[in-house]
Structure 1
Amino acid sequence: MPWRSIELRVDRDSVAMGDDVQPHAGVMSVPRGTLLSAALERSSPEIRSRGWSWVAVVDREVTAVWSVDHGVRMLVPDRELTRGPVDIHFRYFVQIDPAWLFDRLSTGATANRRELEAEYAPIAREKYRAELRRREREIDARLLSAECIEAIRHYGADVTLHADVACDFTHAGETWAVRRADTMLQVFRGSGGPIASIRPHALGEAWLVGMLGASVRRASGLPELPAADRLPGLEFTQAGGRWMSRGATVVQVDSEHAADVAGLVFGRSIAEIRTLLEG
């Protein structure tokens, strides 16, 4: 009978663009006398990704941390639900380690996601770096081909890490990072966001060689890029400080020079690119 159940009005944050296309709010019921912790577990977000943290706010009170890894961990004394409705909202706290998040909140930290993200960021970077080192030791595959690595070393790169999903190196006093992002090869230089996102992978490698080779030419007093015909098939539009290709090949770069390098290397092998740069 209705009087024997408690209505739960449940909602959650969106986790990414596109996730908010459909509403997440819903209503469910649990038997009267159900423990709040059990109600939270039953109504927890349907997104089941390890390492993702959620903070449960019940009737406007920060009540628990929930994750796939640890389930419900209460921040307040558990209690039986005797009256409703009960409003439950799961706030998404991104990939902050749920155990660390629980410890911070249980010792008095405010559930301010921005502040906690900033506090956790150096820990996350260290954990990510340790994971990449583990992958480098234990997995034979490498992100970049041997030919690409030999070419960038030829142009002065000092490779400091090379795993199956990442490659880091320094060149001319700058740090570079190459990452696999789904089907894209992303390249970062210094701090900040990616300077290039390229598909297919082979074109990303060729672009990387072209960028370092152009830098060496400039340092030697030569024009950054040699005079050479561009092969057809790669055209760019420019908007908002980004140069983007049109068609099946995906090239998104942050400067006209980077787009010119992509135009030079498109359709050419790394060996052909080196011949052009050094001819």
Structure 2
Amino acid sequence: MSLNARIATAVPLAAVCAAAVYFLPSPVLAAGIGGIVMLGAWEWAALAGISAAPARSGYVAMLLALGGALLGTADATVVTRLAIGAVIFWACALLLIVATERGRFSLQRWPRFRVLCGVLVLLPPWLSLSVLHAGPQGAMQVLLLLILVWGADIAAYVAGRAWGRRRLSPAVSPGKSWEGVWAALIAGAVLGVLFGVAQNLPVPGMIRFALLAGMTVAASIVGDLFESMVKRSANVKDSGTLLPGHGGILDRIDSVTAAAPIYLVGLHFAGSQS
């Protein structure tokens, strides 16, 4: 994958995303996120073994109807509870990743489970980001979440290329290293502390936020690994070809799918999100 192609795609995308988060009203942003999720659902259907276009369209329509209904009827408390359910799912996903790495589990044998996973992977971040943006300091919170994920991704990429020696999960994602993981976690914690300083948080609050940033980054890594596991089960390298140098939509949002619900739940328990 060409680094120049990655940069040429990533920089404009990041700028557009940041501008949308900052300037768009919450309902419009929620609709935009829904559109991205639907593109991801189209790709996920193929990864789950749904090859016929009508069936893939039906899968997308089902997710759109379910997500739209939840956004239209559920308040922040309900969405936060759903996000807690997503956190439990991602904890289970981590166990599946470990089991796959040890040769004790193969997602390839469970196509129907892959179909269900698409719902559990794609709907919670749509709901979480929408509720987060509509809440107190919503645009800033969503931007900070994206900065955490993007910053960690950049740190992992740079450290992995420069010092990566120990493979994180050769059976799931051979390109990732433990050195990259530690760099991502450190970057997340540093960004969390910097945010705390910028907001004049007391030391305990700064520590809590740095821990939340670290947890969010850790979740983003799990999301990335899980999508890699799904792609391997489908015998493909990328989820699609929509984004030059990056693959498909899922290849760009995989980290956020796990990070968003974790971040929302963390803010809830920290008392920073009503």
Question: Does the TM-score normalized on the shorter chain lie above 0.5?
Answer: no
Q: TM-score range by the shorter chain?
A: under 0.3
Structure with the greater alpha carbon radius of gyration? 1
Greater relative contact order structure (CA < 8 Å, 6+ sep): 2
TM-score with structure 1 length normalisation?
0.22
TM-score with structure 2 length normalisation?
0.22
Higher strand share: 1
